[in-house]
Chain A
Amino acid sequence: MTITELMPFSVLVPLIASLVCALLPGRFWPWAVTLAAAIASAIIAALTLPAAAQTTLSYAFGNWPPPIGIEYRVDAANAFVALLVAGMAAITLPWAKKSVDKEVPERQGTFYALFLLALAGLLGITLSGDAFNIFVFLEISSLATYGLIAYGSDRRALLASFRYLIMGTVGATFLLIGIGFLYVMTGTLNLHDLSERLPEVRDTSTVRAALAFIIVGMGLKLAMLPLHLWLPNAYTYAPSFVTVFLAGTATKVALYVMLRFVFTVFAPDWSFVVLPLSTVLMILGVAGMFAGSWVAMFQPNIKRMLAYSSVAQVGYMVLGVSLVSVVGLTAAFLHLFNHALMKAALFMAVGTVIYQVGSARIEQFRGLGRTMPWTLTAFALAGLSIIGVPLTAGFISKWYLIQAALDQGQWVLVALILITSLMAIIYIWRVIEAAWFKQREPDQQAVGEAPLTLLIPTWVLVALNFYFGIDTRLTVGGATAAAEALLSGGLLP
């Protein structure tokens, strides 16, 4: 079996495992099957990356030759994102067992089945080379995500899920309209075929409208600043494990789809000229960085604070894209990868606190630095990464972002990036201050350190944050290859 023939199984394994999970009773077996499927998927994705970096892989479903049949077409950009998604699932699942047992005591078979569907959907989006297929996988993962969010124990989780459903469906339908316009103009849905046929017809208002619809639709899924309203509530009230996984993957995959359309389907020398895309994305990115960081500084709920911080981090990625250079796109892909690592570590630390204390409000963090030193140290170290302290993964992506801005002589952007990093210090510091410099109130229950099954995965992610801050061969190499693949038109054989 060659790697090309193995590649689609990174989507099929979670899909088939979700069917098994839906029927499994109890608490252990659904989790075990999910973990096995996620690890298998991650291994396949890891094997795909080196092969895809050298040459574009293509797998035709049912042996119908593309562009008539549906194909999976994988280059460095897809493989990088797919490895991130599958890897995050495999790393966070060992942590999930205890947390999910506490927060979702019943019907875990369905819970894990939904999780696997979301995973399969996200991987399907990244690997597929067919525009309509991307829409279907997007809806599979989104519908599973709405269900997962509604599992949250607070009744506001239902509202968060419903509002996400409304906005997410509008976003996905916008993508469908865009794809429809492209199909009407070219008669094809294959991304590679689209990129070849579009230049003949692209100076029409239909194609321009398609570009606008796709950007707005994906902006909704990506939580780009004015379209981010669903994100804070969804992240706050979802079960901790769902938040960890979504924060690491869902918005990243949406960003990938947007990049794939803007750079591969519409060539960047057209899409950045016909619309003032560079200016718009730059303004929205900077506004997202500021608004997200600013609101995060005043949140009493730490989960919500980190959710707003996610809006800010999406801003960094969008800013990297708006610079339209190899370094800028590399910075976007690097931040996409590194942000998944650091935000998952932070949410896992907060989830561990929720497991012990029962709430993520800032008052509950008082004095925890002494009673739960390992958990809170993990939070502080992952916080260093989000601030961008040297030797952490966060520093690497910000370093590349600043370089990309300097290449174009944008000194103002450099200053803005530094200012928002200072804002990150403030909101991370609030937690550290509460944990180490305040005493626990007498009426608050005293808690001990969290169990090792929660601590070890958290520390593994924290360690990864530092590892990828020092040894950058995989991340920078992968991100540069991904950026070059997109800028060279991508998907080319």
Chain B
Amino acid sequence: MIDNDILRIVARFLIPLIMLFGLYIQFHGEYSPGGGFQAGVVFAAGWILFALIYGLDAALRVVPERAMYILMVAGVMLYCAVGVAGVMLGGHFLDFYPLLPGEHAAQQFGIITVEFGIGVTVATVVMLFFTLFARRKSQWEAAEVEDDQP
């Protein structure tokens, strides 16, 4: 769809805004409505729009599939690491108070790190959904073409 000027220009204008909005929801999540789930989905939506306009191959050059797998795992790992850090420092799992001196600082650090992990995982998982389904179709079409030309 890269040939269509309207789509391309509107997308160029929208994609940075969508991603910025995703980051805003992510990092403003502890004061206003938001958090990792929503931010991840909004951020991934920007990437999916890019993939729709410029094609899956171009989008996969931005974020390769292998990187998605690793980031998907890394996000949950970050969540678990914060949780286990609480245990190591003498508290319970996901206990933020032992992480830093000062009640508010500890809670803020803990929840932002955890939500960041969630955000990364959700964004990459949604991108992976899109990649896997979209690539399935192109493989299928390629197989059809081969059938037509024996």
Contact = CB atoms under 8 A, between A and B. Distances in A.
B91 A63 contact: yes
A62 B95 contact: yes
A18 to B, nearest CB: 9
Contacts of A8: 93
Given A16-B80, A19-B80, A60 B92 contact: yes
A62 B80 contact: no
B46 to A, nearest CB: 25
A354 B92 CA distance: 46
Interface residues of A, number: 14
A177 interface: no
A19 B92 contact: no
A119 to B, nearest CB: 16
A224 interface: no
B77 interface: yes
A23 interface: yes
Contact of B69 (A16, A23, A63): A23
A59 interface: yes
B96 interface: yes
Nearest to A20: B73
A5 B94 contact: no
A437 interface: no
A15 interface: yes
A16 B78 CA distance: 11
Contacts of B70: 23
Contacts of A40: none
A380 interface: no
A12 B95 contact: no
Interface in A47-62: 59-62
Nearest to A21: B73
Q: State the main secondary structure of chain A at its contact with B.
A: helix
A62 B94 contact: yes
B76 A63 contact: no
A22 B73 CA distance: 8
Interface string B93-125: 111110000000000000000000000000000
A19 B77 contact: yes
Interface string A58-71: 01111100000000
Given A5-B87, A12-B80, A19 B73 contact: yes
Contact of B76 (A5, A19, A61, A62): A19
Contacts of A19: 73, 76-77, 80
A63 B73 contact: no
A63 to B, nearest CB: 4
Contacts of B76: 19
Nearest to A22: B73
B92 to A, nearest CB: 5
Contacts of A15: 80
Contacts of B96: 62
Nearest to A8: B93
Interface in A6-35: 8, 12, 15-16, 19-20, 22-23
Nearest to B70: A23
A5 B92 contact: yes
Interface string A386-411: 00000000000000000000000000
Given A5-B92, A63-B92, A22 B69 contact: yes
Q: Which of A8, A15, A63 has the most CB atoms of chain B within a 10 A radius of its CB?
A: A63
A59 B95 CA distance: 12
B79 to A, nearest CB: 10
24 contacts: A5-B87, A5-B92, A8-B93, A12-B80, A12-B83, A16-B77, A16-B80, A19-B80, A20-B73, A22-B72, A22-B73, A23-B69, A23-B73, A59-B92, A61-B92, A61-B93, A61-B94, A62-B92, A62-B93, A62-B95, A63-B91, A63-B92, A63-B95, A63-B97
Given A12-B83, A62-B96, 5 more contacts: A15-B80, A16-B80, A19-B77, A22-B72, A61-B92
The 6 A-B residue pairs whose C-beta atoms are closest, nearest first, are A62-B94, A63-B95, A63-B92, A19-B73, A62-B95, A16-B80
